[in-house]
Structure 1
Amino acid sequence: MDLPIFPLHLVLFPGRPLPLHLFEPRYLSMLRDCLDGDRRFGVVAIRSGREVGSDWYTDADGNDVQADSVLHQVGTVTEIRTVAERPDGRFDIITKGSERFRLVQPLNDRAYLRADVEVLPEDRAATRDRIAAENLRDVLVPYLLGLGVPREYTDRLPVDPCELSWMACSALQVEVPVQQQLLELPTHAERMDATARIIRRETGIIRHLGMVGSFRPAGPGGAQLN
Structure 2
Amino acid sequence: MLSFLPLFPLNLVAYPGEVLNLHIFELRYRQLVNECIDEQKTFGIPVYLNDNLPGFGTEVEIVALHKRYDDGRMDISTRGRRVFEVENFENPVEGKLYAGGEVTFSTDLVDLSQPLPELLKLLDSLYELLSISVEYDKEATQFSFQVAHRIGMSLDDEYQLLTMPRESERQQFLIRHLQKVLPIVADMEHTKARIKLNGHFKNLDPLNF
- TM tier, shorter chain? 0.7 to 0.9
Tell me the equivalent position of 1:33.
35
Alignment of 1:159 with 2:161, yes or no, is no
Unpaired segments ≥5 residues, structure 1: 50-69, 216-226
Say which SS state the counterpart of residue 7 (structure 1) adopts: coil
Q: Indicate the larger mover: 95-104 or 140-149.
A: 140-149
Aligned partner letter, 2:47:
A
Alignment of 1:201 with 2:180, yes or no, is yes
Question: How far apart are 1:148 and its partner, in Å?
Answer: 4.4
TM-score between both structures, scaled by the size of structure 2? 0.81
Tell me the equivalent position of 2:201.
none
Tell me the equivalent position of 1:211.
189
Aligned partner letter, 1:158:
D
Question: How far apart are 1:141 and its partner, in Å?
Answer: 2.0
Aligned partner letter, 2:189:
M
Aligned partner letter, 2:105:
V
Tell me the equivalent position of 2:61.
79
Aligned 8 A contact 1:46 1:72 in 2: yes
TM-score between both structures, scaled by the size of structure 1? 0.75
Question: How far apart are 1:167 and its partner, in Å?
Answer: 1.3
Q: Distance in 1 between matches of 2:124 and 2:171?
A: 14
Tell me the equivalent position of 1:56.
none
Aligned 8 A contact 2:7 2:43 in 1: yes
Tell me the equivalent position of 2:108.
122
Tell me the equivalent position of 1:12.
14
Aligned 8 A contact 1:133 1:161 in 2: no
Q: CA RMSD in A?
A: 2.1
How many residue pairs get matched? 187
Rg comparison, structure with higher value: 2
Residue pairs, 1:1-226, within 5 angstroms = 1-48=3-50, 70-83=52-65, 84-107=67-90, 108-109=93-94, 110-126=96-112, 130=114, 133-150=116-133, 153-154=134-135, 157-160=136-139, 162-207=141-186, 209=187, 211-212=189-190
Aligned 8 A contact 1:2 1:116 in 2: yes
Post-superposition CA distance 1:58-117 (Å, at most 9, x none): xxxxxxxxxxxx112110011101112023321000101111001111243221010111
Q: Distance in 2 between matches of 1:146 and 1:41?
A: 39
Q: Distance in 1 between matches of 2:44 and 2:127?
A: 29
Unpaired segments ≥5 residues, structure 2: 194-209
